Structure 1
Amino acid sequence: MLGVVFGLVVLSVTIGSRSVPWSDIFAAFGGGRDGFGQGAVAKRIPRTLLALLAGAALGVAGAVMQGVTRNPLADPGILGVNTGASLFVVCGIAFFGLSTSTGFIWTAIAGAAVTSVFVYAVGSLGRGGPTPLKLALAGAATSAALVSFMTAVILPRGDIAGGIRSWQIGGVGGGTFASIGTVLPFLVVGFVVCLLSSRGLNSLALGDELAAGLGERVAVTRAAASVGAVVLCGAATAVCGPIAFVGLVVPHACRLLVGVDHRWLLPFSALGGAALLTAADVVGRVLTPPTEIDVGIITAIVGAPFFIWIVRRQKVRAL
């Protein structure tokens, strides 16, 4: 996996609407920016770093959400978490003049948290509690409603509509070292919290009653892991926009490699998410040169058929 990620980083730096020779790449790493090639590499380096970080965050968040809810369909996009983060950011820009990177991140985290609690509460209503099907339906309905709210907020505001619509697609093309430096502490905290929750997630996979019988504090473990996932989702959405299906595809693929032990699954999901989002960015650059296709579109093309396959194969039963 490390080799795959390294190879994709090399491709991301060298490939785009125009290929760059290795001499320009080494010059750009040395600080040079003269000429098209060196300038292109200087822009691709932070873009690649952002794709790695955001992909890793979404991959880990998806694995944690699936572990917390024991739901094979859990994903920040499917459950509406990314959409909730987006709505809070849009409202912050439109009504409160939100403009700072740190403000975007805190607002997105708050939106992700509120939406997570709401979807889980709605999915828990009725008999059987929060079943995979009920959570997926609650997330889809909530996401559709929140998208409508966002449209209602954006339409009257022509001054901000263009930038917000572009951000809503989800992409890493605007990545800079400044934005990475702002979001990195939030991502580190989210990664640490999720990794520390890995043993507890293994216990939750046995069922709440058995986990409690083994001495696991079920509510605390579930809450801590959820906080880590929400921080990762909110921070990634704040800088990249809502990118769906990474958190769905990656954990399932990684389970085929390393099994269901979260002590292995979470690190591999981080590498898998980084690889998927970086690959999607590279593909988006070369499909229709000189224009680009944002990674949010590429991941949707990949993830939607995968989602249908999971539904048909597992009959949306719990993990």
Structure 2
Amino acid sequence: MRAFDGKRSVGIFGLGILLIAITAIVSIMNGTKTISYGSVWDAFFYYDSDNLDHVIIRTSRIPRVIGALFIGAFLAVSGALMQGMTRNYLASPSIMGVTDGSVFVITLCMVFLPGLSSMSLIMYSLLGSAVGACLVFGLARLLPGGFSPITLAILGTIIGTFLGGVSAALSTYFQVSQNISFWFNARLYQMDPAVIKLSVPFAIVGLAIAMIVSRGVTALSLGDDMARGLGMNILWIKGLTMLSVVILTGISVAIAGKIAFVGLIVPHITRYLVGQDYKRIVPFAALIGGLFLAWCDLISRFLNHPFETPIGVVTALFGVPFFLYLVKTRGGGKVD
């Protein structure tokens, strides 16, 4: 375990906050239309509704960077919790079918319950996350060796592909493909600021639960027997952990749709930097996850400038090689 003292922790966290501020400014200034720093300053403190740059900053660029930071943080924390709880280095919301469950239920809503309010959309997205998680982990419990990293990843991929296929078929048959495409192919530039605002209370609850169970997840990451030996209530910890994952993943999908690989990559980077204690992993994963997705969003604006590249393409450019690297170097082993 990597030594990690309190002063170093505060220093790195402070650096992370500074990087977030810099990232936010760079993100607000750059896009299809480049905006000067002076215009950004004026848009914050001397807003003019007749100034097109100010309108773009207030209605598009600011919600976009806030959404990217939020979603990256939520998915990174979710992935870290899943990897610690299952001791599975391949666990993440996108691989374990949690995000596909959200998209599936949102598709059902678009078909059978059109015109839902933003709050209803968030609630159904949370329900979908729970459905996806229950399907994958329920099937894993029924199979011999179902909780091994490779088997669980395969199950998650199968369930996710099935739910995605059914969602696509329903959206095509009922002619709502245009409406549902946002959740299949996340577009950060189309985020609704109202949904971001409504997601904040859920995010606070999800992150608070993550911090509450962090000590228990640290014990679980050492094995169930070790956790029992430390006096942990394993079922209670796992239940709260999955509740946090469902909340954080559900609101991420509700805000911007399905985004893969953030929850896979960032927890590994975080453990390398701060060690195995989830009291540190949870906040640092949130910090690094937000930065990671915000910079992926920036890259997406310039890969095919002036056109936008889907954010999922950018995260996959990092995620697929990282996934293959983990399978090659770690085989079927558990999280150390």
What's the TM-score bracket when you normalise by the shorter of the two chains? over 0.9
1:44 paired residue among 41, 45, 61? 61
Q: 2:189 maps to which residue?
A: 173
2:36 paired residue among 6, 17, 21? 21
Matches of 1:20 and 1:129, distance apart in 2: 52
Matches of 1:213 and 1:250, distance apart in 2: 30
Letter in 1 for 2:281: L
Matches of 2:36 and 2:230, distance apart in 1: 58
Q: How does 1:82-161 map to 2 (within 5 A)?
A: 82-158=99-175, 160-161=176-177
Judge which range, 96-105 or 124-133, deviates more: 124-133
Matches of 1:35 and 1:293, distance apart in 2: 27
Q: Deviations over 1:264-301 (max 9, x none)?
A: 11111001110011101111112222221122221122
Q: 2:263 maps to which residue?
A: 247
Question: Does structure 1 residue 5 correspond to structure 2 residue 20?
Answer: yes
Letter in 2 for 1:106: M
Kindly state the Cα deviation for residue 243 of structure 1 after the two structures are TM-superposed: 0.4
Q: 2:297 maps to which residue?
A: 281
Q: 2:242 maps to which residue?
A: 226
Matches of 1:245 and 1:126, distance apart in 2: 26
Q: After TM superposition, what 4+ stretches of structure 1 lie above 4 angstroms from structure 2? A: none
TM-score by length of 1: 0.96
| Partners of 2:145 and 2:151 within 8 A in 1 | no
Identity across the alignment (%): 32
Matches of 2:183 and 2:221, distance apart in 1: 36
Kindly state the Cα deviation for residue 102 of structure 1 after the two structures are TM-superposed: 0.9
Matches of 1:128 and 1:278, distance apart in 2: 37
Summarize the Cα distance change of 1:129–1:22 in structure 2 as closer, same or farther, 3 Å threshold. closer
Judge which range, 167-176 or 17-26, deviates more: 167-176
Query: Any stretches of 5+ residues in structure 2 without a counterpart?
Result: 1-15
| Partners of 2:110 and 2:179 within 8 A in 1 | no
| Partners of 2:168 and 2:177 within 8 A in 1 | no
Q: Deviations over 1:173-195 (max 9, x none)?
A: 12343221111111111111111
Matches of 2:65 and 2:41, distance apart in 1: 16
Between Structure 1 and Structure 2, how many residues are aligned?
Answer: 318
Judge which range, 294-303 or 217-226, deviates more: 294-303
Letter in 2 for 1:119: V
Question: Does structure 1 residue 77 correspond to structure 2 residue 77?
Answer: no
TM-score by length of 2: 0.91
Q: Deviations over 1:101-124 (max 9, x none)?
A: 111111111111111111012122
Q: 1:271 maps to which residue?
A: 287
Kindly state the Cα deviation for residue 234 of structure 1 after the two structures are TM-superposed: 0.5
Q: Deviations over 1:110-151 (max 9, x none)?
A: 111111111012122333351111111110110111111011
Matches of 2:115 and 2:122, distance apart in 1: 11
